[in-house]
Amino acid sequence: MPDEISILGLAGKVALVTGGGAGIGRATAELYARAGMKVAVAEIEPVRAASVREALGSDHLVVEADVRKADDVARLIEAVRGRFGRLDVVVNNVGDYLGFKTPFEQSNEDEWHALYHVNLLHMFHVSKAAIPLMRASGPGGSIINVSTIEAFRGIPMTVVYSAFKAAVTGFTQSLAVELGQHGIRVNAIAPETTNSAQIVATPRVPPENLEHLKRWFPIGRFGEGSDSAGAALFLASDTLSGWVSGTTIHVDGGVLAAGAWMRMANDAWTHLPVIQADGYTPRPEAR
């Protein structure tokens, strides 16, 4: 049922969330429903699809689809059109797939194609198919692309992944310029490491190193799906972000702003390398 966040002017709007069966997508779909929106979820995994279908209830739509495939996307958009008759918000959430952790020179073209399909191509498919229905629904539409903070800094061993995420930024900016005339805004969200179905962050930190989280992140913790969902709610609302387009919100606990700066155990600051171990990946030899 809608609650106090219905003041955001989203009640009755229709949103499509891809990869909405778990993690950031699931948190976004549920928050949108709380805001009074009609939510359509695309989910490839049947168990997750069934779970989010039960959680959202019969007022909403869950479609099992692989958004990497144009035919599945066409079927998805037709399902949204048939059920709701309009589309106001699209969240391109699928894609936080690092894939193959190897030096670039050891990567191969098959890996490049797999990373392209998961991290970028699906945004092309979904956005292209959704735009006509969004435009027909009237002004005030919003496309939200979920990227990663790795689009804005270098990351070794996953070079191709990072390249496609950087491309999401260019796609977001250019599409925003192109669609502004139709009243459709396009923005992105770039999360840091976030606990999700794909990334189990907090539990894999050795218990003796949990205290270090307060030093690695200025805000002092890994992200949760609700953090990015909140940014997606902001970007969906014309009341809050009606003049925001072509930009990226960094949902990263202040990490990108901090750069190399880190707070040490004695509360002093350093920008020097942490030589012995990162305290994040268990390394028995570095005790």
Nearest to 70 by CA among 6, 109, 121, 13: 121
Residue 207: exposed, middle, or buried by beta-carbon count in 10 A (0-12, 13-18, 19+)? exposed
> What string of DSSP letters covers the chain?
---GGGGGS-TT-EEEEETTTSHHHHHHHHHHHHTT-EEEEEESSHHHHHHHHHHH-TTSEEEE--TTSHHHHHHHHHHHHHHHS---EEEE---------S-GGG--HHHHHHHHIIIIIHHHHHHHHHHHHHHHT-S--EEEEE--GGGGS--TT-HHHHHHHHHHHHHHHHHHHHHGGGT-EEEEEEE-SB-SSS---GGGS-GGGGGGHHHHSTTSS-B-HHHHHHHHHHHH-HHHHTT--S-EEEESTTHHHHTT-EE-TTS-EE-S---S--SSS--GGG-
pLDDT exceeds 70 at position 275: no
- What mean pLDDT comes out for the span 166-182? 98
CATH of 4-260, one of 3.30.420.40, 3.90.1170.50, 3.40.50.620, 3.40.50.720: 3.40.50.720
d(CA 41, CA 79): 11
pLDDT per residue as tens digits for the range 205-225: 777 777 777 778 889 888 999
Distance CA 76, CA 40 (A): 9
Partners of 186 in beta bridges:
143
pLDDT at 106 over 60: yes
Mean pLDDT of 59-80: 98
Sorted by where each begins, the domain ranges of the chain are 4-260
Q: What is the pLDDT of residue 8?
A: 83
Distance from the Cα of residue 139 to its chain's centroid: 24
Q: What is the mean pLDDT of the chain?
A: 89
148-165 pLDDT, tens per residue? 999 999 988 999 999 999
HEC letters along 141-203: CEEEEECCHHHHCCCCCCHHHHHHHHHHHHHHHHHHHHHHHHCCEEEEEEECCECCCCCCCHH
- Across the range 194-200, mean pLDDT stands at 75
Indicate which residues carry an active-site annotation. Answer: 161
Note the pLDDT of residue 2. Answer: 46
